[in-house]
Amino acid sequence: MRILKSNFWLAMLAVMLLVSCNDGKYEIRGDSVYYTWWTWSFGNQEQELTGADAATFEEIKDWLGKDKSHVWYEARLVKGCDPQTVTAIQKRLFRDKRDYYYEGAPLHVKDPNSFEVLDLNDYCLWAKDSKCGYFDSTRIEGIDSKTFKSTGTFIAKDKNHIYRFGKVLPLADPETFEELEMGYMKDKARVWYHDSIMPDADAKSFESKWDYGWDSKRVWYNGRVLKGADAKTFDVLKSGYYAKDAKHVWFHDEIVKGADAASFKDDGDMIGHDKNQKYVCERIYDLDD
């Protein structure tokens, strides 16, 4: 049974299960320093900070620590970071006298005096200085700094380009670009699913909702044509799991066999019904299941 609406959210769930559910912390035990945290997958975890000097160790934040010679991001040694000048800026982002660091990785900022955070959310960092843009720890050369800005979680733009995950999205028009739902994007001439152009999609009429996209002629699910779907009567129902047209009902991209499209209703929680019976996902509800 497929529960999540896209591969993206499946990946995000995997990350959530592995990372800490609550903030970690540093603990000094005798001559050793440990970083401890908790995860959904493995419960309480800890890691000793190899080489840490317990006598001079200092917790700057619950995710940033230092001793007289070293700096750690959580349990990761940050090579080259100066412990005398290290300063926390915002969770996952810190700096010293020479550079900025994101999740322990140096950004190699070209102009530290003009460095500016554009967006630091639960998933990524967008920033810029007078010469470059930055996505997480990737430096983006050739931006127009005056017009460079974040426009979505993984999207930024300047007067010349659209940037997705720190890379130029080829052929995208910044003036007419629009980020839709679940990886669908479009400008005045093209439609994308993630970073792939959908060559048969009509940008003028294209719409999306959850994992479905459609224009005046076709319907797509996760960027693939939904065979047999009638774009003129297609409708995504309230939960986003079910959709229907004049003849068929879909659960994700599978036809719900036997379902009456005219009377079908989405009850939420992957449950639906028509005038004849109830459905769980794409299957007829059966007490014996």
Domain boundaries along the sequence of the chain: 7-99, 107-168, 171-223, 237-289
Residue 159 is given by DSSP the state S
Reported as half-sphere exposure (CB side, CA atoms, 13 A), residue 169 has a value of 28
What's the confidence (pLDDT) of residue 17? Answer: 44
Query: Quick one: which of 108, 154, 111, 157 has its CA closest to 135?
Result: 154
The pLDDT of residue 23: 75
Q: With beta carbons less than 8 A apart as the criterion, state whether 261 and 249 touch.
A: yes
Q: For every one of its 289 residues, what pLDDT tens digit does the chain have, with 9 covering 90 and above? A: 344 444 544 444 444 444 444 579 999 999 999 999 998 888 899 999 999 999 999 999 999 999 999 999 999 999 999 999 999 999 999 999 999 999 999 999 999 999 999 999 999 999 999 999 999 999 999 999 999 999 989 999 999 999 999 999 999 999 999 999 999 999 999 999 999 999 999 999 999 999 999 999 999 999 999 999 999 999 999 999 999 999 999 999 999 999 999 999 999 999 999 999 999 999 998 755 4
What's the token pair of residue 181? 């739902």
* Whole-number Cα distances in Å, 193 to 182, 185, 222, 252: 8, 6, 8, 17
pLDDT at position 21, please? 47
For 121-166, list the strands marked E by DSSP.
125-128, 133-135, 138-140, 149-152, 155-157, 162-164
* Prediction pTM value: 0.85
Question: 221 has which bridge partners?
Answer: 212, 224
